A and B are shown apart, each in its own frame.
Chain A
Amino acid sequence: MTTPVAQEQENYLNNSYGLKSWLLTKDHKRIALLYLATITLFFFIGGAFATLIRVELLTPQGDLVSSDIYNRLFTMHGITMIFFFLIPSIPATLGNFLIPMMIGARDLAFPRINLLSWYLLVVGGLFALFAMLAGGVDTGWTFYTPYSTTYSNSWVIATALGIFVAGFSSILTGLNFIVTIHRMRAPGMTWFRLPLFVWAHYATAVIQVLGTPVLAVTLILVLCERLFHIGIFDPALGGDPVLFQHLFWFYSHPAVYIMILPAMGVISELISTFSRKAIFGYHFVAGSSIAIAVFGFLVWGHHLFVSTQSVYAGLVFSFLSYAVAIPSAIKVFNWTATLYKGSISFETPMLYAFGFIGLFTIGGLTGLFVASLGIDVHVTDTYFVVAHFHYIMVGGAIMAFLGGLHFWWPKITGRMYPEGWAKLSAGIVFLGFNGTFFPQFILGYLGMPRRYHVYPPEFQVLHVMSTLGASVLAVGYLMPMVYLAWSWKYGPLAGPNPYRATGLEWKTASPPPLHNFDELPVVTHGAYDYSTVTEEVTSVG
């Protein structure tokens, strides 16, 4: 392989020091690391809530905490994980770090707005943290009315304001990505030479920009009713409670695609690199990201099949939900076909990619169950739905996040993670995840409702299995925290392109210099042309 780059070489990490150099940075790579630290904190806060939930559910009685506390735990678990971890996770960290490098740019289009986005997330997060410390919020992450506007006796306003502010972080990040991808591509980087990671983030950014404002408006309406008793959702004030659900899910269903599309982008890069082959059906995988972003806006009503929504609306939303499943299926088939006649190696990121395909397949197929009107009437608001969306959002998005974090870790830090430990933790995460959530499909079909503090004793065995799985999963999540931190200082030097990958980000030093490239690249071939890698790598060091 190549000779490792000497650490003394100037890069984005060592060109300036001190707190101020970080808090006022306009470098997309440093901002990505600020995001990484922030969302990691929120991930472990959300994880702590999940731990308490799983321990409480070991027994049918409510013996660990009171019902009021339990309701706050699952609410704050959902809010923390969705709004302050999953939605910023891959786009704001890996996307922020990599998109300019992948398209051959020095930075995002608006570096100051990029920094502002991070501050908005922090301010929003502080509102939410304040609400948690002051006593918490108990509406469920879905804020259904009129419970949230009239009946809940908890910190609804502070939490909603936190999500409102964090939403602008998401909008500005999306805006920045769209403009960057349109305007900042290196010479020769045509649309169909873009890595699929960039395509996926482009689709995500469109959803962020178009969807998030609806959530902001909806939260403001909730605040108007809660603070000023303006009748919008509460029928006692002349409002319509189901209207809230339409508005909320108009954003919150596409929000699932904000979480999963970037994950799919990561997986495309991993599968290609570790098969040393172009992604099979590149155009279809790229196009399916756009199709998901568009169709994703048309399926929100499948959350309302039993809400008193009209039967015909249910019919249309069920049909469209099946339509949106097809682009996801296309991706899975193309990833699998990429392996054919490849040269496959099994480094940690590839193990995560395999794990993603497995868990996303199960999550996607169980989506067909809940899209079916007849089945959904029975399983909606049960653990079946809980299991389904965890397979997508944890089994899908977090597997891809960890896979991507390992894959680009040498680029970010200049150091390799310890391969043995990393493979072990990937295996533990996969097993622990299935142990936690597979029993919940069975629980749900048996009729166990979600958000139950106390439950009938016949459900206990499956709950105990789920909690055991969660204990394993927790170990799997803690391990990377430790060894990644260790490797930042002690890991072996990585060199510019340890995996012999094709992206432009691998054609510069690790860690990259402040402006990414010593000489801006000119692109002459498609994203996954491995025949060009060997000689280029040797020329970088």
Chain B
Amino acid sequence: MKIPLFPEQASTFAPDVDNLYFYLIAVSVFFTLLIFSAVFFLAIKYRRRSGNDGVPKDVHAGILLEVVWSVIPFGLAMVMFGWGAEIFFRESRPPKDALSIYVVAKQWMWKLEHMEGQREINELHIPVGRPIRLTMTSEDVIHSFYVPAFRTKQDVVPGRYSTTWFTPTQTGKYHLFCAEYCGTTHSGMIGWVYVLSPEDYQDWLSGGKKTGTLAERGEKLFNDLACSNCHKPDNSGRCPTLVSVFGSTVKLVGGATAKADEAYIRESILRPDAKVVFGYQPLMPTFQGQVTEEDVLELVEYVKSLTPKPPALAPAAENKAQASNR
């Protein structure tokens, strides 16, 4: 029976991580053989012979030997450190043009949301050759999104967004595991990542039930929850306008500033009085308990879609929906 030794390489990171792994194996095998053969050889050569009951002379080497066998391993270790850090830095910086997908984890399933509106459970369909960025959160305990074939893993933490990214390099079907122990059916919190050719991916996108894009669903929620009563596009409401807020730096009451990223918008929905915009009263009620993590993600996408209208269009709420369509 054939026993596999290495997992498949299916992302751009996989060969990088494997090359570093081979370097570490080479260093480890060298030192293991060095120590094992030294112990074996010395133990045999200097074994106590019968009749020889003398006390061997102590051997003293200068400090030089101690320095040498400290500095050489340290140098080799620094290569491991630098090489590993370089990969890690690339893994933590998703490219701007990455395809964005949301992940909501809960005991014991993965829920995946595409911008175009497709929802999946324990399955993720993505195109080959494009960088994919995942923005992830958990509804309950800590989980961890792990695709061994991509060599990427990222904890999914309740109360915050974590991100990870990868570029799949070959089509196929790969394991998705939860890697952080999360309770009874932890080992059942698994799924498959399907990497499709661009054509198959387009087919997949066009199939299935149409539910509107994430931003469209977010807009509906925005109106249903009456957010639009106060947050008016022309800044005439009691609350600040949300047009162009995403990505900007917001001035807060008390003089501090905050960068308006996904986490900021999430916090503003769930804990509105945590960061109050300069010049406004803390009037907004909390939506904690009224919206799910998925609702929040839809609202975030809607806010992200709010860009200033061309002057030809009236800045009315009805038209904004048009503008936010792709």
Residue positions of A touching B, CB distance < 8 A = 62, 67-68, 71, 138, 140, 144, 146-147, 150-152, 234-236, 240-242, 275-278, 280-281, 284, 305-308, 311, 314-315, 318-319, 322, 325-326, 329-330, 332-334, 336-337, 339-346, 354, 357-358, 361-362, 365-366, 368-369, 371-378, 380-382, 442, 445-447, 449-456, 458, 461-462, 530-531, 533-534
Contact = CB atoms under 8 A, between A and B. Distances in A.
B186 A452 contact: yes
11 contacts: A68-B184, A280-B61, A281-B65, A284-B66, A311-B88, A336-B38, A343-B52, A344-B42, A344-B47, A361-B36, A371-B84
A449 B147 CA distance: 11
Contact of B56 (A68, A276, A368): A276
Contacts of A322: 74, 77-78, 80-81
B148 A372 contact: no
Nearest to B56: A343
B158 A372 contact: no
A514 B5 CA distance: 57
B81 A339 contact: no
Given A67-B187, A343-B48, A377 B153 contact: yes
B199 interface: no
Contact of B46 (A332, A340, A361, A461): A340
Contacts of A306: 144, 153-155
B142 A144 contact: yes
B188 A147 contact: no
A343 B54 contact: yes
B185 interface: yes
A147 B77 contact: no
Nearest to B179: A381
A374 B59 contact: no
Interface stretch (B17-25, B237-245, B249-257): B17-25
B46 A308 contact: no
Contacts of A278: 58
Contact of B39 (A138, A281, A339, A449): A339
B20 A147 contact: no
B87 interface: yes
Contact of A377 (B24, B47, B151): B151
B57 interface: yes
A365 to B, nearest CB: 4
B48 A345 contact: yes
A329 B70 contact: yes
Interface range, B side: 35 or more
Interface string B70-103: 1001100110110111111101100000000000
Q: Is the interface of B mostly helix, strand, loop or mixed?
A: mixed
B46 A378 contact: no
Interface of B: 1, 3-7, 16-17, 20-21, 24, 27-28, 31-32, 35-36, 38-39, 42-43, 46-48, 52, 54-59, 61, 65-66, 69-70, 73-74, 77-78, 80-81, 83-89, 91-92, 107, 140-142, 144, 146, 148-149, 151-155, 157-160, 162, 175, 177-188, 190
Contact of A311 (B69, B89, B107): B89
A454 B43 CA distance: 45
B146 A381 contact: yes
A308 B138 CA distance: 13
Contact of B66 (A152, A330, A375): A330
Most buried by A among B16, B52, B78, B80: B80
For the complex of A and B, 4 pairs with smallest distance between CB atoms: A447-B148, A235-B159, A374-B87, A372-B84
Contact of B3 (A241, A337, A462, A533): A462
Contacts of B66: 281, 284, 330, 334
Nearest to B84: A372
Contacts of A344: 42-43, 46-48
Given A361-B32, A369-B24, A452 B187 contact: yes
Contacts of B3: 442, 461-462
Contacts of A280: 59, 61
A530 B42 contact: no
B177 A336 contact: no
A305 B43 CA distance: 41
Contacts of A450: 181
A374 B52 contact: no
B17 A361 contact: no
Given A144-B180, A235-B158, A378-B17, A451 B47 contact: no
A374 B57 CA distance: 47
A376 B144 CA distance: 14
Nearest to A304: B155
A454 B17 CA distance: 27
Contacts of A235: 157-160
Given A146-B141, A333-B69, 16 more contacts: A67-B184, A147-B141, A277-B59, A311-B88, A330-B66, A337-B59, A361-B31, A361-B32, A369-B24, A374-B86, A375-B84, A377-B87, A377-B91, A381-B179, A446-B148, A456-B190
